[in-house]
Structure 1
Amino acid sequence: MASVNPPRGMRDFLPADKARRERVLAVIRDRYRVHGFDEIETPVMEEFARLHAGIGGDNEKLAYNVLKRGLDAEAIRAAADDPAALADLGLRYDLTVPLARFYASHRAELPTVFRAVQIAPVWRAERPQKGRYRQFMQCDIDIIGDASSRAEAELIVATLDAVDALGLDGATVRVNDRRALDWMLTGFGFRDEERPGVLITIDKLDKVGPAGVVAELRERGATAEAVDALEAFLHRPTTLEHHPFGERQIRKLLPDGLPDAIVADLVGIGDAVAAARSLDSAEGGIPLVFDPFLVRGMGYYTGTIFELAHPSVDYSLGGGGRYDGMIGRFLGQDVPAVGFSIGFERIVELVTESDAAARSAVVLVHDRDVELGELLALKAALVAEGSRVRLEQRTKNLKALLEQSAADGFTAFATVAPGATRDELEIKPLS
């Protein structure tokens, strides 16, 4: 007999789970909108060539491709070694590549600086494991057309505002700049052609520590002198003094000589975020941390990169960065762009709903002999008061019925006898 389970790495959501997810999404949408972002929608599929144009990084290897229509067995065998000959479409693996295509298609209809929201599912052929799915929701905000650090600051402030609104106080954003990272690796002596592999290893610094990074680089056969220089830098004497995000912290964590323009961009982001957050914080604190070894795996990042962190977990809750070169692949001219994506599947697991988060939800438990018109009139009265209402006919096991109603997200119930009016209903809590 065929399995009734969803495909591996994909999930069904029961009504209560779906309702909870939608409430979290509603908060995120609202906060993004008040910060001036406009929501767009793109197709779930894009052309194969676009999804495999070298702008999606490692995600291109995880794309689900759609077989061309009309291919017979002989044509499939003949093209077995050429995916491009077998597929002409694919499911999107992120929302950034579709956004770049969208902007190239509609640029004349959009403002000079376009602030976009995309909230939609994406698909990747991941190896399913805890917290990693083959279909998952992404919540992206992007600013296209602004080359200044103001764009990064707007994204960070809007994202932190959304996280705060979900009750996840204490979130911070780790910040780096790919230009600073490239400058540092060049100074150590790593060759351009070995840079991608070196970055993959450095990205493991939090997990394996300096010794593990150095050992793996030596195993990879990276330039020995460069590995020596990196090892010396990782083990350099440091003081325990704390500096808030700013020029002093940035220069303290990097080798001497970092170009002033890169420092100025990073400091500008910090100053802008600090000014915005001071309205919400009595101390005027800034929830940014400079991390010189933050990598972000996507190959299309060209400048600032960032990741969202929360003290309750040891993994990131989102991230993004500047990708000025991507849209130019479609337009033939560079357009500045930067984006920030919330990891919705991770965020939603951390959100604990307050009593005010859920609206009143009432189950009307009625006897068989109550007239339908009476029931619908009572239901309409409660709906008009702002409640969610469900009609349920009384069963022998009333306790089981009420327990299931509570599991479905209902908070109260009332029993309805023939002839009952709204004023006569005694609404009781389910818990």
Structure 2
Amino acid sequence: MRDFLPAEKSRRERVLAVIRERYRAHGFDEIETPVMEDHARLHSGMGGDNEKLAFNVLKRGLAPDDVRAAAEDPAALSDLGLRFDLTVPLARFYATHRAELPTVFRAVQMAPVWRAERPQKGRYRQFIQSDIDIIGDATFRAEAELITATLDTIDALGLSGVSVRINDRRILDALLDHFGFTPEERPGVLITIDKLDKIGPSGVAAELRERGVTPAAVDAFETYLTALQPAGAFTREGIESVLPAGVGADAVSDLLAIAEAVGAGREDVPFEFDPFLVRGMGYYTGTIFELAHPSVGYSLAGGGRYDGMIGRFLGQDVPAVGFSIGFERIVDLLEESAADTSDSVVLVHDKDVPVSELVALKTSFVAEGVRVRLEQRTKNLKALLERAHADGYGRFALVSAGTPRASMELKPLA
């Protein structure tokens, strides 16, 4: 968890403003949900490994005897937890407010989430997520809208060269069935497969054997991984060339339709089929996708379809799909851009200038939409001005007692 000095905070807000504006342009409406959710909801088995990283909140009013009695069951000590993502809260939000929302609801959430991570660059214990979701649309149009809006946002942020990695949980399920993994083994197997890019085929096979899953299935899967070649062109032939015969045909058709729909508006973003893209969350049921950038080894955005989640809260299935920009990763990757300082000024005043004059002068600038800082002149004027420039101010003026604004000279700080 980090502090942010004014200049960095300003930079982060500029990035958030671009993301918010582009998503709004694509018809998404912003909502807000509480930072805490019920413990049972956060630990329902749908959050994958992230459930293990959730910060739990102790029940209020626990007596020492209660704590000792619950020592063998830590979950008995908590009834709430800090959200580890924004999708679980969104599902609860929609189930609560469905009658007040449109049939197809396009939502934006931009807010902090918390995970008990081992901090490192691009991975923090408190971080901002920036999500867009479409609820109520079972067609691939929803995926096409999400990917198009996110690519437009990435463009607006000044990043180029991204590609879309895409897969479908139906293809993964069909592969696991083909190799002989049982339905009960599937969740744990997917968690291990999600580590493929980190530990490689041999590491995945070793971990699967440690899990005690069906040995023959592991052997068949390892043989397949060892012989696997990268998918060719993003065509039916290219995708089917890396899949066993007949596996996931319907899902492949959907992936091709999504790419065609997105490409109708822009042809500069390549799609790449990855049969072992998992996206660790346990709630995904269909299409899953990420944005990759050649300069980094991690994804810049990710999401997928989670048609089964809302039904857990509502009692009936509602189709849903979402895409989340990795805000912290984007901020770290973007080159430092100069802030627009044309509407900001530092008024450096002598010690004897009456406060009433300073307030009146400042008020006149503010009324014109100018950002104003008052600074009393010091012996080291250069250091004062350098600090103001670093804080995002573009101009300054020297103010003496009785100086009319009309005769005040505004000078650039740069």
- The amino acid of 1:60's aligned partner reads E
- SS in structure 2 at match of 1:391: strand
Matched residue, 1:233: 224
Among residues 190, 195, 206, which one is paired with 2:197 in the alignment? 206
8 Å CA contact 1:95, 1:140 repeated in 2: yes
Q: Could you give the per-residue CA deviations for residues 31-85 of structure 1, whole angstroms, max 9, x where no partner exists?
A: 1111010011111111222222222222222222222222211222222223343
Alignment of 1:404 onto 2:387:
yes
1:158, 1:251 → 2: CA distance?
28
Among residues 84, 89, 94, which one is paired with 1:103 in the alignment? 94
Q: 1:259 to 1:297 in 2, by over 3 A?
A: closer
Among residues 371, 374, 393, which one is paired with 2:376 in the alignment? 393
1:100, 1:166 → 2: CA distance?
29
1:102, 1:353 → 2: CA distance?
36
**TM (normalized to structure 2)?**
0.93
Q: How does 1:279-294 map to 2 (within 5 A)?
A: 284-294=267-277
Alignment of 1:75 onto 2:75:
no
Q: Could you give the per-residue CA deviations for residues 379-420 of structure 1, whole angstroms, max 9, x where no partner exists?
A: 344434543221101011212212221222222322222333
Q: 1:139 to 1:241 in 2, by over 3 A?
A: closer
8 Å CA contact 2:134, 2:320 repeated in 1: yes
- SS in structure 2 at match of 1:293: coil
- SS in structure 2 at match of 1:192: coil
Matched residue, 2:18: 27
Q: Which moved more, 1:247-256 or 1:21-30?
A: 247-256
Matched residue, 1:48: 39
2:76, 2:231 → 1: CA distance?
59
8 Å CA contact 1:301, 1:323 repeated in 2: yes
Among residues 240, 243, 259, which one is paired with 1:270 in the alignment? 259
TM-fit CA distance, 1:215: 4.4
TM-fit CA distance, 1:353: 4.7
Alignment of 1:86 onto 2:77:
yes
Stretches of structure 2 lacking an aligned partner (at least 5 in a row)? none
1:236, 1:61 → 2: CA distance?
34
Q: Could you give the per-residue CA deviations for residues 160-208 of structure 1, whole angstroms, max 9, x where no partner exists?
A: 1111111111222211101101111221223333333332332232233
TM-fit CA distance, 1:359: 5.0
8 Å CA contact 2:347, 2:374 repeated in 1: yes
- SS in structure 1 at match of 2:262: helix
8 Å CA contact 2:19, 2:153 repeated in 1: yes
Share of identical aligned residues, percent? Answer: 72
2:60, 2:228 → 1: CA distance?
63
8 Å CA contact 2:304, 2:322 repeated in 1: yes
Matched residue, 1:327: 310
Q: Could you give the per-residue CA deviations for residues 240-270 of structure 1, whole angstroms, max 9, x where no partner exists?
A: 9952x33233222322213432112111111
- The amino acid of 1:367's aligned partner reads D
Q: 1:235 to 1:129 in 2, by over 3 A?
A: closer
Matched residue, 1:129: 120
- The amino acid of 1:401's aligned partner reads L
TM-fit CA distance, 1:216: 4.1
1:344, 1:398 → 2: CA distance?
37
| Number of residue pairs aligned between Structure 1 and Structure 2 | 414
TM-fit CA distance, 1:20: 1.1
TM-fit CA distance, 1:355: 4.2
Matched residue, 1:114: 105
Q: Could you give the per-residue CA deviations for residues 343-367 of structure 1, whole angstroms, max 9, x where no partner exists?
A: 1111111223544655532211111
**TM (normalized to structure 1)?**
0.89
Alignment of 1:250 onto 2:257:
no
- SS in structure 2 at match of 1:193: coil
Q: Could you give the per-residue CA deviations for residues 274-314 of structure 1, whole angstroms, max 9, x where no partner exists?
A: 0122xxxxxx2333221111111111110011112112211
Output the aligned Cα RMSD: 2.2
Among residues 402, 410, 417, which one is paired with 2:400 in the alignment? 417
1:191, 1:211 → 2: CA distance?
21
Q: Could you give the per-residue CA deviations for residues 77-128 of structure 1, whole angstroms, max 9, x where no partner exists?
A: 2222233432222211111111111111110111111111111111122223
- The amino acid of 1:327's aligned partner reads I
2:310, 2:172 → 1: CA distance?
23
- SS in structure 2 at match of 1:413: strand
Stretches of structure 1 lacking an aligned partner (at least 5 in a row)? 1-9, 278-283
Among residues 324, 331, 336, which one is paired with 1:348 in the alignment? 331
- The amino acid of 1:256's aligned partner reads A
8 Å CA contact 2:162, 2:291 repeated in 1: yes
Matched residue, 1:143: 134
1:83, 1:312 → 2: CA distance?
42
Q: How does 1:140-179 map to 2 (within 5 A)?
A: 140-179=131-170
- SS in structure 2 at match of 1:327: helix
8 Å CA contact 2:137, 2:320 repeated in 1: yes
Q: Could you give the per-residue CA deviations for residues 314-367 of structure 1, whole angstroms, max 9, x where no partner exists?
A: 111121111111111011111111111111111111223544655532211111
